[in-house]
């Protein structure tokens, strides 16, 4: 594929001045009416025993005191998203009752769903994770040069934290703040990661990126690098992505930056195969959302009634995933229910793909300056850096 550039490139922009832009009309920024989630710091002593022991929080032997003290002081965990399950249940039921039923993709990531997503990243068809990893491998030092070392690294959608951890040597962050909707999965990951990096202070944040970014006091002052790898930003449509970038810019100070992984538009077959793999792992990942619904809503979805569908919407530039009902069914949950006809669908995920120029423009429209990007030789994936 032509046009490969292995050095940072500044895609053309028609908007170099980018004065602070008003949010687009109808932007989710203004439509988010959820009250700020309550916040609670989990003290080491409150964590279940396995976490305490795994992290050296159990009373240390005398010789281990220094290390154990360091560990005790360096991992805090703050839960912001869904402190009570009621808001989550309400949102889920509202989505199921709309004529075109939908469930937000953030509900994929319960414990099993998070593991299934890790399995997806190993599939031959799922190119984004490994392609992004090669770009980081190839260009980590240039990225560090551009972004600066010693910043507070804020990982938005950390998952298993592997991508950030591989950048620690190049970025040498002053603190690592890992944010994820899947708090239990994140907590377990961070406990292990803290042991591997005892000198690096870490904060875990169970938070929903659809809400305004509210960094707790555990996050240090100082220059920040917002890290959003994996093309997770693709779950938002372009105006939602713009709203997220606006929220980031609002949370940022001059000198801060963003480092964002973005999946690029490419051949339709390659895209569809990445979301409909031969082993059926993506199908399992998709159908697992019904397991989640059965658990949190007390619903009675029968998994065999639903099949996985992945389609590429060429006009919108996104992969759309659905669960399609094989026959007429009635589903019940605590306090309600609905009928689904054969062929009816529940929309579970959109995954938007960009052209490099389009994503650069989005960054600039949100008020970020000097976007550059690094890509792989095939031009499948791009990592952008931009400054506030």
The residues binding ligand AVJ (CB under 6 A) are: 120, 128, 230-232, 234-235, 275, 282, 285, 349, 351
CB of 126 to ligand AVJ, least distance (A): 7
Report phi then psi at 107, rounded to 5. Answer: -80, 0
CB of 116 to ligand AVJ, least distance (A): 9
CB of 351 to ligand AVJ, least distance (A): 3
Nearest residue (CB) to ligand AVJ, 128 versus 238: 128
Nearest residue (CB) to ligand AVJ, 234 versus 371: 234
Nearest residue (CB) to ligand AVJ, 184 versus 370: 184
The residue whose Cβ lies closest to ligand AVJ is 351
CB of 42 to ligand AVJ, least distance (A): 26
CB of 127 to ligand AVJ, least distance (A): 10
């Amino acid at each position: 594929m032509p046009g490969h550039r292995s050095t940072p490139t500044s895609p053309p922009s028609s908007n170099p001045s980018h004065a602070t832009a008003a949010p687009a009309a109808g932007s989710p920024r203004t439509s988010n009416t959820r009250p700020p989630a309550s916040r609670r710091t989990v003290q080491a002593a409150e964590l279940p025993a396995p976490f305490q022991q795994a992290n050296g929080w159990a009373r240390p032997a005398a010789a281990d005191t220094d290390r154990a003290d360091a560990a005790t002081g360096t991992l805090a965990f703050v839960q912001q998203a869904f402190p009570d399950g009621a808001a989550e249940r309400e949102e889920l039921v509202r989505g199921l009752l709309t004529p075109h039923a939908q469930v937000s993709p953030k509900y994929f990531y319960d414990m099993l769903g998070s593991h299934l997503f890790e399995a997806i990243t190993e599939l031959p068809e799922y190119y984004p994770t490994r392609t992004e990893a090669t770009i980081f491998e190839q260009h980590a030092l240039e990225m560090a040069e551009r972004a600066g070392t010693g910043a507070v690294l804020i990982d938005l959608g950390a998952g298993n934290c592997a991508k950030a951890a591989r950048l620690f040597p190049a970025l040498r962050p002053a603190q690592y703040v890992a944010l994820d909707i899947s708090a239990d999965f994140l907590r377990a990951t961070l406990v292990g990661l803290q042991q591997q990096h005892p000198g690096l202070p870490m904060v875990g944040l169970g938070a929903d990126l659809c809400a305004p970014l509210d960094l707790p006091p555990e996050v240090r002052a100082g220059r920040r690098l917002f890290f959003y790898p994996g093309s997770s930003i693709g779950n938002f449509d372009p105006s939602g992505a713009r709203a997220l970038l606006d929220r980031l810019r609002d949370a940022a100070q001059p000198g801060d930056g963003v480092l964002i992984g973005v999946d690029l538009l490419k051949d339709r077959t390659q895209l569809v195969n990445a979301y409909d793999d031969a082993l059926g792992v993506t199908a399992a990942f998709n159908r697992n959302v019904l397991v989640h619904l059965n658990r949190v809503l007390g619903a009675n979805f029968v998994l065999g009634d639903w099949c996985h569908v992945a389609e590429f919407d060429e006009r919108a530039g996104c992969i759309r995933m659905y669960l399609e009902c094989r026959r007429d069914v009635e589903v019940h949950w605590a306090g309600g229910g609905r009928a689904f006809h054969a062929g009816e669908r529940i929309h579970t995920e959109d995954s938007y793909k960009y052209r490099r120029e389009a994503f650069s423009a989005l960054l600039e429209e949100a008020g970020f300056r000097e976007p550059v990007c690094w890509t792989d030789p095939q031009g499948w994936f791009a990592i952008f850096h931009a400054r506030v």
